[in-house]
Amino acid sequence: MTEAAFSLSLAILALAAIAAVMAGGRARLWRAGRPAKVDWMRGLMALPKRYLVDVHHVVGRDPYAARMHALAAGGLLGGSALALLALLPPLGGSRLFWALVALAFAVALAGGFMVGRRRYPERPARLSGGKFQRLPFLLAAYAGGAFLVALDAALAGSVWPLAWPGLWLAAAGGLGLAMQLDRGPMRHAFAGALHLVAHPRAARFEGRRETALAPLNLEAPRLGVATPADFAWNRLAGFDACIQCGRCEVACPAFAAGQPLNPKRLIQDLATSMVPGATNVAYAGSPYPHAREVAGIGGPDLPIVGAGAMIHPDTLWSCTTCRACVEECPMMIEHVDAIVALRRFQTLELGALPEKAAAPLAELRYADEPQGRPLAARTDFAAGLDLPLISARAGAEVLLWLGEGAYDLRYGRTLRALVRLLHLAGVDFAVLGEEERDCGDIARRLGDEATFQRLARANIATLARHSFRRILTPDPHALHVLRNEYPALGGIYEVVHHSAFLDELVAEGRLGVAPLKASVTYHDPCYLGRYNGEIDAPRRLLDRLGLARLEMERSGRRSMCCGGGGGAPLSDIEGERRIPDIRMDQAAQTGAGIVAVACPQCTAMLEGVTGTRPEVRDIAELVLEAVEAMPARAREPAT
């Protein structure tokens, strides 16, 4: 082994020690957070799979970034580990082994070069500047220098004039990387690994639906999150895992509409605020659009939200809870959980809601309906139709949950179509009528957990009085709440969305359809697609109707929100554009004449778009049209 190579190994050992100290210092900050239940053994065992499969599934959506990361991270970790192993005499003495080390560092150098090429000459808007712009140079210095040393060792010291400068270069670059491990770009490596192990929603790596909000203990001394110390420690680690790649900001509908929300900045503000004496000056990415003035200071026990703190309340209330950021995040950060936790404190402890959101919550408290309308009027849309009440009969095969859309005149057309289809297919169904209260979705997303739990318990008690096999609903928000969030409060139901249900009926031949001649693009509701993974049934159904189906630029699990979720239309935070206008533009770009929707919120938001645009039709309306297009005799279900 050459002297330079031996020095390199020692230098890397020293760097590793420095890195460990820096990382340890950062990890100590997380101890300010509340304890969390973590299955360490299971997390550690699953880490390789979570990293290599789940993370890289997300990273791989940007193939350049995936290659870049594989080369840089693989080369850097591989080269450094091998160089450390060279301290063992039999390995260190082998020229072949040093050739391997040189190869690893050459790979890292190529990765570093790709990092640089992505950021220079022009940095894409979604990437952060500041320390991140220095990253390619530090990577290149460390990997390049170490490569020269290893090459010299592999060639038995024949290029020694290169080895010594190489050693200094590697030491300087390595020191630059290690010293800023707590605040610089490399933080994502150790925080991210730990976050994968101790992830607060570990089941999402096991292919389970992990989108339900966790119930809040309403007896707790403090409700919701006011300071970083109120977050569980593994949530704090999650914020530190952010690599500021900006994929969330590209996906965020509120960001696109110029509302003061940028998920990346939000996570950075949360990560910064856990440091004692924190300020937000070091952030070098895109800001919150039309950012409201804040003091930008914080600390582990200081408030996070407020004009005198880190995050302006308008930022919180801009979120539609569409989970697009969560879907795009390669570090598996749970942005929406953080936003709802912060909203809970604002709503439950401070009563600091946007003015327009306060009235619907008050109506929910005293009338079980966000607009204070009579519960008995929910079935008014069905005037003239036969709408069986479950209380008037022994029970039904299918309970039809109507949801809030039933009060809306436009959406009433959809529900009428659905009811007619159920009759045509001979489905044994019934509705709750005035026994149906609001499901509590809006209350929960607006942070009013107390009202949500009251409504949920009341609904569960109502449902327990009736006998049915499954619940059918055309409202994905109600579906998500009934299917995924009521179980934690003791209500376990089989819930099916009308798109899947109609798909079954058409597939079984219980509804005869004639092909429709039109082109259609399907807009995935967030609460059906991303929250529940149901993206195939609606498409299958549209195909069965013989429609020419065109896909929007963003569809399926990566679809864009209509702007109607999370109580965002109620809090109504001002931006530059309206989210549904943006989405409608995307629909119009496909050239389709119809946007097919499957959610009352999406219907209302997209119908609100003015100007020349594709027609908004619910899937149920399209199915009814196809059924009516059948010659009358053939329409009868086979008996």
Partner 1 sequence: MREPMNVAVLLSAGHHPVSGRACPVPVEMQAIGLGNALGAEMTGLHAGPASETIADALGHGLARLVHLKIGEADDPLASLIAALGTEKSALVLAGRVGQGGEDSGLLPYALARALGLPVVPDASALREGPEPSTLLVEQALPRGARRRLMVRLPALVTVHPAAPAPLPFAYAARRRGVVEERAGIASPRGERAIEERAYRPRPKLIAKSAAGASAAERLKAATEAASGGGRVLVDPPPEEAAREILAHLRDIGVLRG
Q: What are phi and psi of 431, to 5 degrees?
A: -115, 165
Per DSSP, 519 falls in state E
Interacting residue with partner 1 among 124, 161, 374, 515 (CB under 8 A): 374
Contact positions with partner 1 (CB under 8 A) in 114-143: none
Interacting residue with partner 1 among 450, 460, 548, 630 (CB under 8 A): 450
Interacting residue with partner 1 among 14, 87, 352, 582 (CB under 8 A): 352
Return contacts of 356-362, CB within 8 angstroms, 24+ apart: 356/570, 356/571, 356/572, 357/317, 357/446, 357/567, 357/570, 357/571, 360/442, 360/570, 361/442, 361/443, 361/446, 361/448, 361/451
Alpha helices per DSSP H over 472-535 = 476-480, 498-507, 526-529
- Sign of the Cα torsion 615, 619, 621, 624 reads positive
Q: By C-beta, is 79 or 447 nearer to partner 1?
A: 447
Q: By C-beta, is 7 or 462 nearer to partner 1?
A: 462
Parallel, antiparallel, or unpaired: how do β-strands 548-550 and 594-597 relate? Answer: unpaired
267-286 footprint of partner 1 as x/- string (CB under 8 A): --------------------
Q: Are the CB atoms for 253 and 561 separated by under 8 Å? A: yes
Q: Does residue number 366 form part of the binding site for partner 1 (CB under 8 A)?
A: yes
Q: Does residue number 372 form part of the binding site for partner 1 (CB under 8 A)?
A: yes
Q: Which stretch binds partner 1 (CB under 8 A): 95-103, 299-307, 372-380, 587-595?
A: 372-380
Coil, strand, or helix at residue 390? helix
Q: Are the CB atoms for 605 and 257 separated by under 8 Å? A: no
Shortest gap between Cβ of 413 and partner 1 (angstroms)? 25
Q: Which stretch binds partner 1 (CB under 8 A): 160-168, 175-183, 199-207, 367-375?
A: 367-375
Q: Which stretch binds partner 1 (CB under 8 A): 49-57, 154-162, 368-376, 575-583?
A: 368-376
Contact positions with partner 1 (CB under 8 A) in 287-316: none
Q: Does residue number 40 form part of the binding site for partner 1 (CB under 8 A)?
A: no
Q: Which stretch binds partner 1 (CB under 8 A): 22-30, 141-149, 446-454, 600-608?
A: 446-454
Is the peptide bond preceding residue 121 cis, with omega within 30 degrees of 0?
yes
In angstroms, the CA 500 to CA 536 distance is 9
Q: By C-beta, is 244 or 346 nearer to partner 1?
A: 346
Shortest gap between Cβ of 195 and partner 1 (angstroms)? 30
Alpha-carbon dihedral of residues 121, 122, 123, 126, nearest 10 degrees?
A: -160
Per DSSP, 300 falls in state T
Shortest gap between Cβ of 357 and partner 1 (angstroms)? 8
In angstroms, the CA 303 to CA 522 distance is 42
Helix then strand then coil, % of the chain, to nearest 5: 55, 5, 35
Parallel, antiparallel, or unpaired: how do β-strands 297-298 and 396-400 relate? Answer: unpaired
Interacting residue with partner 1 among 89, 351, 384, 611 (CB under 8 A): 351
Interacting residue with partner 1 among 347, 379, 559, 571 (CB under 8 A): 347
Shortest gap between Cβ of 215 and partner 1 (angstroms)? 14
Shortest gap between Cβ of 351 and partner 1 (angstroms)? 3
In angstroms, the CA 248 to CA 244 distance is 9
191-220 footprint of partner 1 as x/- string (CB under 8 A): ---------------------------x--
Shortest gap between Cβ of 497 and partner 1 (angstroms)? 29
Q: Which stretch binds partner 1 (CB under 8 A): 176-184, 345-353, 514-522, 561-569?
A: 345-353
**Quick one: which of 288, 313, 310, 315 has its CA closest to 300?**
310
Q: By C-beta, is 454 or 583 nearer to partner 1?
A: 454
Element (H, E) at 178: helix 160-179
Q: Does residue number 367 form part of the binding site for partner 1 (CB under 8 A)?
A: yes
Interacting residue with partner 1 among 229, 358, 458, 550 (CB under 8 A): 358
Shortest gap between Cβ of 485 and partner 1 (angstroms)? 18
In angstroms, the CA 341 to CA 455 distance is 19
Coil, strand, or helix at residue 497? strand
Q: Does residue number 361 form part of the binding site for partner 1 (CB under 8 A)?
A: yes
Shortest gap between Cβ of 348 and partner 1 (angstroms)? 4
Shortest gap between Cβ of 276 and partner 1 (angstroms)? 27
Number of residues that bind partner 1 (CB under 8 A): 27
Q: Does residue number 349 form part of the binding site for partner 1 (CB under 8 A)?
A: yes
Per DSSP, 308 falls in state T
Q: Does residue number 368 form part of the binding site for partner 1 (CB under 8 A)?
A: yes
Q: Which stretch binds partner 1 (CB under 8 A): 261-269, 320-328, 366-374, 491-499?
A: 366-374
Distance of CA 226 to the CA centre of its chain: 22
Shortest gap between Cβ of 171 and partner 1 (angstroms)? 55
Using a 10 angstrom Cβ sphere, with 0-12 exposed, 13-18 middle and 19 or more buried, the burial of residue 94 is: middle
Q: Does residue number 223 form part of the binding site for partner 1 (CB under 8 A)?
A: yes
Interacting residue with partner 1 among 134, 365, 410, 613 (CB under 8 A): 365
Residues 6+ apart with CB under 8 A from 611: none
**Quick one: which of 237, 233, 227, 254 has its CA closest to 323?**
254
Alpha helices per DSSP H over 319-381 = 324-328, 335-344, 355-367
Shortest gap between Cβ of 321 and partner 1 (angstroms)? 19
Q: By C-beta, is 128 or 451 nearer to partner 1?
A: 451
Residues at the interface with partner 1 (CB under 8 A): 218, 222-223, 347-353, 355, 357-359, 361-362, 365-368, 372-375, 448-450
